[in-house]
Every structure is written in structure tokens, then in C-alpha cells.
Structure 1
Amino acid sequence: MYKSFWHLINGVGLSSRSMVAVMGIQKHLITVMLVILLLGANASCFAQPISKSVDDGKITENSYLFLLPYFLGNGETGIYFAYSYDGLKFQWLSDRDLIVPAPKWGDESLTRDPSILYHDGIFHMIWTTSWNSRSIGYTSSKDLRNWTEPKQINIWRERNDVNNTWAPELHWNPEQKEFLILWSSTTLAELNDGDHSEDQHGYDHRSYYSSTKDFKRFTSPKLFYSPQDPEYSVIDPFIAHDDRGTKTKKDDRWVMVIKHELAADKGGKNLRLTFAKKMLGPYGTTLGKPIVGAGTAIVNQMSEGPTLFQHQGQWHLYWDAPGSEYSYCLATSDDLETWKNRSAELDLPVGQMRHGTVLKVPLSAVPSINQ
């Protein structure tokens, strides 16, 4: 059995070429039989299901692949990748090699919380560079193997009243035709406003956003989300479009999953939902009840780093629960209200994978798989 994604592709191609080149009709029949056996042995890799995927708002039928960039430890080594054909069984990409080694940026050289997006033939990826930084990291690739030189982006520009920039998430805004970056930060104004909304770690996070068309010029950060009544620290926002299963766009909405960051005994350390009619909100300022994490029946402990999307008509929520019995977690729902814990069904290549983004892309987005 092949050890990695790239070995699988290259291995099948070389076997076919070498046998066809040197064998006659009789041996050609043997070759055909061997190929059939190979395909059978790797049926999970080659027998691709068909699913609807959204690219720039257009729905097309594509074979698909799930990508999961993640980090280990404190993020000091770099970004690793896993891939899957069904969203459950993940394998190493590139035989356990680092895909993006940690850049040498002094105190801001971490590669935590990688977020990946595929748009217009290019994979874009951003990440957290430090526990206390005003910058994020960025790189891009056309084939998942060759990445541009990592770029450090000071997303806050000239502002120096910001303590940190955590878990940037990358989205495509189809209406404005630009990239949307969401993240969480503690500003000095929020931290010192006396409303007692800070968490036990000494932070008082709110969610912010910036937009860019080219990853060279960025709009000034603006407040994206702050819960009210009561007000409290939140981190790790992730948004997804919900067409409500109807043909009309009138009832379309956006759903945001976000982490309540107060202590578990204060109702936090879990993931909750809120909704909006438009991508940029406003989202409901009162979060719903916790759906997974501390205080729930699904992985009842600290949970963070969510990814949310629809797959075959069902909502899939992936998240990170450090210290739990699961390396990574998954819950599914038909209606965003009742959730089923699927974490035990996940088959992952390494223990304690940390905060990444699960991205579903057309198989055609990874050219090497068809070689």
C-alpha cells in the first residue's frame, strides 16, 4: 500500500507506463489484471463520490477532496497537511513532511491555526504568527507542493493598541469579489473599559475583519462581532452560507460558529451559533446555546477552532478539543439544531492535531491526482 498521496499518484502512473512499454499482448493482459487489482486495493482513493460544491456562487458537480492543514505542539515547526475522500479517513499528505516550514520571523515565527481557501486556481493560506502579535502569515500555491515565500502581514497597520491577532480565517466574498479575513483580538480600549467581560487568561477578545483583493493592500480592521447582554470575550469565528435547502435566495442566510471564551463555570469554552442575512452581518448579538464543548453532551470540555460547511445536504462541524480523547472532532446536523457526535468515526494520521481548517475542494483543484 502506498505511503503517501504523492507516492500513490506516481506509483500507479509508473507501473502502467513501464508495463505497457515492454510487454506484448499476453503481458498486456497481465498488466490490465494488475491495474484492476491496484484499483481495487485503492478503491477508497479512486472511486470518487459526486457532490455539489460551490465556486464563486456557481454550483457544479465535481468529485471532491477534503484538505486539512494543521499544526502540532505550539506551531513552532510549520504547517502539515492531511487529506481525505470522505471527510472521515484522513491520511498524510507528502509522507509526513512539512508542507510549509515555520518562517524565521523572530518572535513571530509560529504557524498556528492555518486557514486555507481555494479560489480561481490558487490555494491561499493564512495563520497566526505569535501569541501576542499584530501580524498574520500568508502564502499561496497552485499545486499544494510549491508554495510562495511566506509573507508577514501587519494587518493592524499603524495601530499599536492591540495585544494579539488570533486564528485568522479566510473566506471569499462573492458579492464584493474580494477576500475576507476574520480573526480575534484584544484591544486596550476593550480590555480597560471596566465591563468585566475579560476572560480568565487576561484577554477580552472581539472579532474583527479586513478585506483584500490581492494580499498586498488591506482595508483597515473593523469590528465584526461582539456579543451583547451580556458582553463577553469570544474567539475563533467561522462563517458559512446557508441556502436553507430552497431554490429561492430570499430565505438565504449566513451562520457563524464562534467560541465563548469565558471559563467553563461561567458558561464558556464551547462553540455556539448566531445568524445574519448578509455575509458581513449584523449577526445576532445573543449567541445560541452551546452545541459542542464544555457544558454539552458532545465532547464535554474546552473546544475551539471550528470549521463549518454543508456536505451532501448535511452540516459538518469540525473542531479542536485539546486534551480530549480525540485528535480532532466532528459533529453533524441536518438542521443546525440537533447534533450527532461523529468524532469516534474520524481516522487521523497523528494524535493531537491542532486547530486547522477542513476545506472541501473539487478533485480537479489538485492536478497531480489525475497524473
Structure 2
Amino acid sequence: MPTVLSRLATILVSACLLFTSQVVTAPQRAAAADPGYLMTHFIGEGATGQQIYFSHSTDGLNWTDLNGGGMTLRSTVGTKGVRDPALVRAPGGDKYWIIATDLCIGCGQSWDDAVNNGSRNLVVWESTDLVTWSAPRLLNVAGAIPDGRNAWAPEAIWNPETNDYVLYWATNATRNGVLKHRIYYARTTDFRTITTPQVYIDRAGTQGIIDTQIVPVPSGVGDYRYVRASGDGQITLEGSNSILGTWTDLGNLSGIGLTGSQVEGPMWMKFRDRNEWALYLDQYASGRGYMPVLTTNPSTSGTYRLPASGSYNMGGTKKRHGSILNLTAAEESRVLARWPNTAINRLQSFNYQDRYVRHANLDVRIDPNVSPAADAQFRLRPGLAGSGTVSFESVNFPGYFLRHSNFDFQLAYNDGTTQFAQDATFCQVAGLADSAWSSFQSYNHPDRYIRHYAFQLRLDPITTATGRSDATFRVTS
């Protein structure tokens, strides 16, 4: 950046602080002394419900929707919908993955399609900080399975015996003349390449199995290092001392009135402050989402108990099949700062007041009667490049921001680079045409402002009355 622009940028950021302090508020910190828990999940059917959502809890039982209950990641690959996300942390805490079912029921795909000719891929995101995620990519896991017809409900666990991950999922396939869902597994180190899939769990006869999740158990609790819960007509518990070893049947949860016809999607959580676990189960039959079942010994079915009335709260959205991560203090701080409950706003044109800033096929313009309405909805985030500034994140394409490139605007996915952050950061100042409105000055080109020209958004120097009107907007609900 030329010296004069660098000096202008410094002055710009200082000038922004007072104005933007009234627009972007800092997220609230967790009230608990210890860090809490992050749940990743989906919330229902349709193109919006079948995406990635995050929720946070300070105690593991009472949950708050992050991002105001809006999606945090959206799949733009495969079926363009995801279910059953698993959140995986590397042993060193330096990398994270989300792996999910590539499935979008009600988005041009029926359940029969999904069962018999569904996606053989999983959807994968990766991150180094839990907040800036790669674009989604597809990982083919079932293509090599003879007659493999889908790939559902993935999970992964680090295996210290082999120093890699055991990635496991359900596939509907014919084996020994029987077509049904079985659990398959493969090994991987990077969720990009995998070993040849092998059968992991195969129930007797025609009994299928779709959902299973493994939890490590510390020494001194029960007789097994690992316990898994599976949806196979019951919620069956099994124990083993090796992830790829022999598993022993430990019973099921029918003793407390829960079977596979009522609940599915088992999801483990270990309480941080005590030897107690919650096994969350999705009450799909009644449409009520997750509830916790509590135990002090995962390997003993008789220790499981239903929660007391009023002892938990799942938040504003329905929580469906996902996973829970016990956060470190640093992780929690980053997550809560990235997805606060920021208001949803639109940007109304000053001189064409029936028109609003919107994205269309990743281009950005001002239009009247925007449909779908979410194409004109943004969250004004704290600026990616500097304090006292703002960045505009799309509501229906989270992770995508308004960004200038060659002084033209596009809706682009945040690649985490310094250049992107600067191109997507602006100072909100008093409107150039009306001080009761707002104008948005570029962070890295402070002599230029966001304006429309022939209804397209551009970044231009403003020198005329028409330019001042074109560069003035109202932040409105």
C-alpha cells in the first residue's frame, strides 16, 4: 500500500471507532469458570435445516444457539445439504475437521433416493483454529464398496495403536445376499485419502445399523477403554479395549424405556468436572430433537437414567444428530467471538429506496423485491482486518463476505488471508448524502467507498453529488 494510503488507513480506523461501537457489540463470555462445550448439529429438513449449526453450553446440559440460531457453515458441493456432522480434533489440537452426510431430503431428493441411490461421498471441512474453515470438499468413501448405495452418519476417532483416525459410517449394500445398512470403516490421516473400506459392524440377519458413536473411557471406570452406542433397533451398548478389536455386547437402554424406534443419533459427552457422561439421543419419532441420558459408567446399562424434568434446555433450535467437543479456554474464546448473536440487517439504497444490496450467483448489486429474501440479508461483523470496522457476512451463505476485487464487488468465501480480510473490511461513517444514513469506506483503499453504478456494487472515489447518493445506505432490519 502506498505511504499516503497507509496513513489514511490509520486515520480511518481511529475515526471509525466511535461510529461502529454503536453497531457491533462484543460477544458475551461464558459465565462458567471452566470452558464449556461446543455442539455441531443440523436442525431439520430442507436446504436451510440440513446445514451446519453450532451451539454452546457452559454446563453440558443447557445450550445456547450460536450465530443467533443461524447456520454457521453451508455445503455448496454434492447434494448441497448435510446431516449428521461429526467434529474431530487432532490429538495436538492444531487441526479440526467436520465430516458430514452428503444428503438433502426435500431438496430434489427423496428418502428412497437417499437409501438406494444416494451420495457415496461425505462432505469435509477443515480448520486450524475452529473458526476459519476451508471450503467444503467431497470424500468418496462408499464408491469402492460392492453395491454400495450411500454413505451416512460418519464418525471418526483417533486410534493410538495405529497413529491415524478410524473413519466409520453406514452404507446400504448387498453382502451375502442381504441388502441392508452396515457400518464400514477406513483409516486416514488427513480425511483426503482413505484405506479400502472394511465391514466394521454387521448385525445378524436382516437387522440394519445406521448410527454409532464411540467414547473413550478413562482407567478405573468400567472394564473397557471404549464404549460405543448404536442405533440398531435398540440403542445397543458395546465395550472394547481396542477400537479395531473385539467388541462385547453390554446391553441396551430398553430398561429405561428407550429403543431404536423412539430415538437415534447417539452423541456422547463427558462432563469436564466429574466422572459422568451424557448420551444425547435424538427423539426423532416424536420430532423433539436431542435429550440427554446420564450415566456414571458408560459400560453398565443399569447406570443410565433419564434426566429430571427441567434439568436441561436445548435452546431455540431443534438439535439433531451431531457431536460435542469439550472446549479449551482458547477455543471457547475464539468460537464465541466468531459467532455471537449479531443482528440480521439489510442495506437499503438512499437514492433507490425500493432497492437493497443483494448477492445473485455471487455477484453483488441492488435490486427491488429480492427473492429469496435471505440473499439481501447480512450480519455486520467486527471487521476482519481491524477493530472499529465492519465486514458483511451473508446470512444464507455463512463464511461468505462482501469483498472488492479490482474495485468490483462479489460475495466470496473467506480464505483466511490478509488480503481477503482487507478487501472485505470497511469503516461505517456518516452517510455522504445524508448523515442520518451510512456510507462505507474501504479499509485498504480509504479514498474509495462502496457505491452502486448501473445497480452494480463498485468501490469508487466519490467526487459528485450523484456519487454521494450512490454511496449512501441505510442499515435496516
Please give the TM-score of this superposition, normalised by the length of structure 1.
Answer: 0.70
Contact 2:265 2:322 in 1 (8 A): yes
Bigger CA drift: 163-172 or 174-183?
Answer: 174-183
What residue number does 1:365 align with? 331
Which aligned pairs between 1:331-346 and structure 2 lie closer than 5 A? 331-336=293-298, 337=301, 338-342=303-307, 344=309, 345-346=311-312
The one-letter amino acid paired with 1:313 is N
1:255 aligns with 2:227: yes
| Rg larger for | 2
Secondary structure of the 2:330 match is helix
1:314-361 C-alpha deviation (Å, 9 max, x unpaired): 122012111437431101112232211127422122343221112222
What residue number does 2:44 align with? 73
1:204 aligns with 2:185: no
**In structure 2, do the counterparts of structure 1 residues 164 and 363 end up closer, same or farther at CA, with 3 Å as the change threshold?**
same
**In structure 2, do the counterparts of structure 1 residues 94 and 145 end up closer, same or farther at CA, with 3 Å as the change threshold?**
farther
> What is the identity percentage for the equivalent residue pairs of Structure 1 and Structure 2?
25
Secondary structure of the 1:139 match is strand
Match of 2:138 among 146, 152, 161: 152
**In structure 2, do the counterparts of structure 1 residues 334 and 211 end up closer, same or farther at CA, with 3 Å as the change threshold?**
same
Which aligned pairs between 1:49-128 and structure 2 lie closer than 5 A? 49=34, 64-74=35-45, 76-77=47-48, 78-105=51-78, 108-119=79-90, 120-128=93-101
What residue number does 1:273 align with? 237
The one-letter amino acid paired with 1:307 is M
| Alpha-carbon distance in structure 1 between the residues aligned to 2:270 and 2:333 | 24
The one-letter amino acid paired with 2:32 is A
1:226 aligns with 2:188: no
Contact 2:119 2:151 in 1 (8 A): yes
Contact 2:144 2:196 in 1 (8 A): no
| Alpha-carbon distance in structure 2 between the residues aligned to 1:274 and 1:251 | 11
| Alpha-carbon distance in structure 1 between the residues aligned to 2:80 and 2:148 | 18
What residue number does 2:416 align with? none
Q: Which runs of 5+ in 1 are unaligned?
A: 1-16, 19-37, 50-63, 194-202, 261-267
Please give the TM-score of this superposition, normalised by the length of structure 2.
Answer: 0.55
| Alpha-carbon distance in structure 2 between the residues aligned to 1:231 and 1:360 | 37
What residue number does 2:159 align with? 173
Contact 2:235 2:258 in 1 (8 A): no
The one-letter amino acid paired with 1:348 is M
Secondary structure of the 1:156 match is coil
1:191-222 C-alpha deviation (Å, 9 max, x unpaired): x33xxxxxxxxx61111111111222211111
| Alpha-carbon distance in structure 2 between the residues aligned to 1:254 and 1:112 | 25
The one-letter amino acid paired with 2:263 is S
What residue number does 2:174 align with? 188
| Alpha-carbon distance in structure 2 between the residues aligned to 1:208 and 1:167 | 11
The one-letter amino acid paired with 2:211 is D
**In structure 2, do the counterparts of structure 1 residues 233 and 96 end up closer, same or farther at CA, with 3 Å as the change threshold?**
same
Secondary structure of the 2:238 match is strand
| Alpha-carbon distance in structure 1 between the residues aligned to 2:284 and 2:57 | 22
Q: Would you say how many aligned residue pairs link Structure 1 and Structure 2? A: 291
Which aligned pairs between 1:322-337 and structure 2 lie closer than 5 A? 322-324=284-286, 326-336=288-298, 337=301
The one-letter amino acid paired with 2:313 is D
Bigger CA drift: 306-315 or 76-85?
Answer: 306-315
**In structure 2, do the counterparts of structure 1 residues 288 and 76 end up closer, same or farther at CA, with 3 Å as the change threshold?**
farther
Contact 1:144 1:366 in 2 (8 A): no
Deviation at 1:169, TM superposition (A): 0.6
Contact 1:305 1:356 in 2 (8 A): yes
RMSD of aligned Cα (Å): 2.9
What residue number does 1:200 align with? none
1:254-305 C-alpha deviation (Å, 9 max, x unpaired): 2111011xxxxxxx2x311011221112213xx443316xx84258952111
| Alpha-carbon distance in structure 2 between the residues aligned to 1:343 and 1:90 | 16
The one-letter amino acid paired with 1:73 is G
| Alpha-carbon distance in structure 2 between the residues aligned to 1:135 and 1:241 | 27
What residue number does 2:426 align with? none
1:308 aligns with 2:294: no
The one-letter amino acid paired with 1:368 is R
Secondary structure of the 1:99 match is coil
Contact 2:253 2:259 in 1 (8 A): no
The one-letter amino acid paired with 1:115 is A
Contact 1:163 1:188 in 2 (8 A): no
Deviation at 1:117, TM superposition (A): 1.4
Secondary structure of the 1:95 match is helix
| Alpha-carbon distance in structure 1 between the residues aligned to 2:39 and 2:96 | 13
The one-letter amino acid paired with 1:330 is P
**In structure 2, do the counterparts of structure 1 residues 343 and 353 end up closer, same or farther at CA, with 3 Å as the change threshold?**
farther
| Alpha-carbon distance in structure 2 between the residues aligned to 1:156 and 1:299 | 28
The one-letter amino acid paired with 1:236 is D
Bigger CA drift: 345-354 or 275-284?
Answer: 345-354
